[in-house]
Structure 1
């Protein structure tokens, strides 16, 4: 044991005490909840480990009217549904075999053996729910105090068990680590980086986006770029990927813009839509995510259309055609330093107006129904955008001054 958890609101969640009592106290808080509480961070998810078998856990909780869901019962995990949120409960385990992608496990009643399965020392901490005493088998408490991200035991062996731990190392380095790598961990990650190519793209992409969503991933990403790890994740990056991500995060912090993984991914990717799109597809990103990348890359075209590769033309027009969030991101990514404040100010609190004209209005004014109506409407809308979204009177005057039959 090594001290106790400080008082934390999450330990008093409704139904949690009843759950612990139903398990006869044969349970511990594990993982992120313990780690983050010791760091003074907010806790969202609660994980519990127990030597009890999953079926026994479900029976015990059913007896006290706590609903359970067998979310991963084959691997020993069930989810208890409590009023303040779900709690995952997993039976202690030991690895029987691993191949870098998946593990075959057996249930155990040895707390240290279960902790040894975890990746980093800071993630192997556990705490007694009743006394809040902390159990630390591998020096995780000291590592946490020093913000040192270190694998349990041999870094090479831990990575051989699960190659995704390479990505997890850099994510945890970005989230908790100081501006310094653990030499053994970094060497092992670099040596095994090619193994990332054997993993499903969905798993790799998920970890990459989690890394990019951390408060400040610049140091971790820089280390990955220097070690050549990214070439095993995506086909190619922008030639200035490191500079791009550094500038973007600096701008986000300067203008108090919250982190966003997709925005930061665009900073790393080639700025040609077809190349970036191919990478997004190779990572098996969702259609929504791929569309978000495509929209932000339109900002490159906008800036070039303005005659400058570093500024955006008509930021509100761009926001109208895409959305305000996309326009803000494009400005953060591609605008010049001098233009950026004004562009962000132009978007702050702005809502795209509704185009005050319909095809029916044009037909009433003499246009014959058909394709010409849509073409005319589009041309008028383009002029309306270019003039800064003037009112309906401007549109009436514009139409009056035009020959509608020639608009398209």
Structure 2
């Protein structure tokens, strides 16, 4: 990380950002970029979220922004966070803080004007890097630059103390390792292993959110192997065990071969036993959405009969790819990856016009037409019309016989 200057990344030229920095007193050392934007800029990765740390009290931030005509939204006022709404997007502005007390789930904070105190309460050294918004000068209080260069995920200070402050940091350690790391910091890995049971105190939503992010990170497969080996999942997801490794490996290889992007729900399905009831109970425990739970269950259920296209039509493209990849049918998944799922070019009204009575008779005939259309490989509207004529004629003959 030579030069100790933040690179001139695209996000630094967002409309209104320089003016926001001036309003917040960056030129007088009152405000700095911090966290993910600084880290990712140094790694030449795209930056979505911009965070500014400031010595100004939250009420002063609101006052400064409003006087400058910048919309201020008190999104996290209790934690010292104000969102400055620029035309180019939101920027979170947070007053420097130190922890007064923590219980593993939430912290009581006090404001400070000491940059090092603010850095000391963050989780990993690579997330405690600050940069002057105007000059790009970097500020590194805990050797985060060296760790970033070595792709080493390292807790700030004592790992056990940091985990005691916020148990979610166990999962964050592995997620950051999967996203950025080449090798785990030994002290951090040992601390996470020792304190894995602390995860039981967390809400299932937080566990789900962190796990799903982890599963699509660059080195997810390697890191999940490590987590299973260290029994990290055991306290909260005991369904994930040594037998999960082979299923995840096979799925990841299939995704790569089929040119399909890694997907968190699909990978979670691979980690769980291929049993719909078990998978659904895990989805409920993690408080996943109904759509996510349905997709998990479909992914481990037997695939419908027929061609890959027929499966994609019956299940939808996303679930078809899940089922095909989890079933080891890589080429079939590749077949439907970019296939536009068609709509049946016929309505129940068209069958009524052909002489059927509204109600169950129409529904049955429509299903019969659809089945033939799928079996024939989704022919055009003219052929569907001919199929409909045949099926309606047959239905009318049966009704009159």
What TM-score, normalized to structure 2? 0.92
Matches within 5 A, 1:195-274: 195-237=198-240, 240-274=243-277
Q: How does 1:14-163 map to 2 (within 5 A)?
A: 14-25=15-26, 26-163=30-167
Partner of residue 13, structure 1: 14
Find the aligned partners of 2:323 and 2:120 in 1 and give their Cα distance: 45
1:377 and 2:366 equivalent? yes
Q: 1:284 aligns with which of 275, 283, 287?
A: 287
Give how far 1:154 is off.
0.8
> Structure 1 residue 327 and structure 2 residue 320: aligned?
yes
Contact 1:168 1:207 in 2 (8 A): yes
Contact kept in structure 2, 1:215 and 1:259, CA below 8 Å: no
User: How far off is 1:393 after superposition?
Assistant: 4.9
> C-alpha displacement at 1:292, in angstroms?
2.3
- How far 1:219 moved relative to its partner? 1.1
CA contact (8 A) 1:235 1:279 kept: no
**Aligned CA-pair RMSD:** 2.1
State the shift of 1:108 in Å.
0.5
Whole-Å separation in 2 of the counterparts to 1:275 and 1:125: 43
How far is 1:238 from its partner? Answer: 6.9
C-alpha distance in 1 between matches for 2:188 and 2:215? 20
- Report if the CA contact (8 A) 2:37-2:50 is conserved: yes
Q: Does the aligned pair in 2 maintain the 1:5–1:133 contact within 8 Å?
A: yes
How far the C-alpha of 1:143 sits from its partner, in A, is 0.5
User: Matched residue of 2:40: which SS?
Assistant: helix
Q: How does 1:362-373 map to 2 (within 5 A)?
A: 362-373=351-362
CA distance in 1, matches of 2:362, 2:98: 69
How far apart are the structure 2 equivalents of 1:278 and 1:406? 46
Aligned equivalents of 1:131, 1:251: Cα separation in 2:
46
8 Å CA contact retained: 2:351, 2:392: no
Does the Cα contact within 8 Å between 2:266 and 2:296 map onto a contact in 1? yes
Matched, 1:395 2:398: no
Secondary structure, counterpart of 2:153 in structure 1: coil
In 2, Cα distance between the equivalents of 1:14 and 1:356?
A: 47
Using structure 1 for the length normalisation, give the TM-score: 0.90
Q: Distance in 2 between matches of 1:128 and 1:6?
A: 12
Contact 2:179 2:217 in 1 (8 A): yes
Distance 2:355 2:220 in 1: 59
Listed as ranges, the gaps of 5+ residues in structure 1 are 307-312
Instruction: Deviation per CA, 1:195-250: give whole Å up to 9, x if none.
Output: 11111111110101111121330111111111111122324137631111122222
Q: Where has structure 1 moved over 6 Å in runs of 4 or more?
A: none
In 2, distance between residues paired with 1:125 and 1:364?
Answer: 70
Q: What is the CA distance between 1:378 and its match in structure 2?
A: 1.9
Structure 1, 157-166 or 239-248: larger mean CA deviation: 239-248
Deviations 1:363-387 (A, max 9, x none): 4444443323323322332233223
Structure 2 partner of 1:315: 308
Larger mean CA deviation between 263-272 and 115-124 belongs to 263-272
Do the aligned partners of residues 370 and 8 (structure 1) sit closer, same or farther apart at CA in structure 2, a change above 3 Å counting? Answer: closer
Shift of 1:265: 1.2
Change (3 A) 1:321 1:23: same
Cα deviation, 1:78-119, whole Å, max 9, x if unaligned, reads: 000011111101001110000100000000111001100001
Contact 1:174-1:214 at 8 Å conserved across structures = yes
Residue 204 to residue 394, structure 1, CA distance change in 2 (3 Å): same
* Alpha-carbon separation, structure 1, partners of 2:145 and 2:398: 75
Task: Answer whether contact 1:213 1:260 (CA < 8 A) is retained.
Answer: yes
Q: Distance in 1 between matches of 2:397 and 2:181?
A: 66
Tell me if the contact between 2:254 and 2:328 (Cα under 8 Å) persists in the aligned partners.
no
How far does residue 405 in structure 1 lie from its aligned partner after superposition? 6.4
Q: Distance in 1 between matches of 2:333 and 2:368?
A: 28
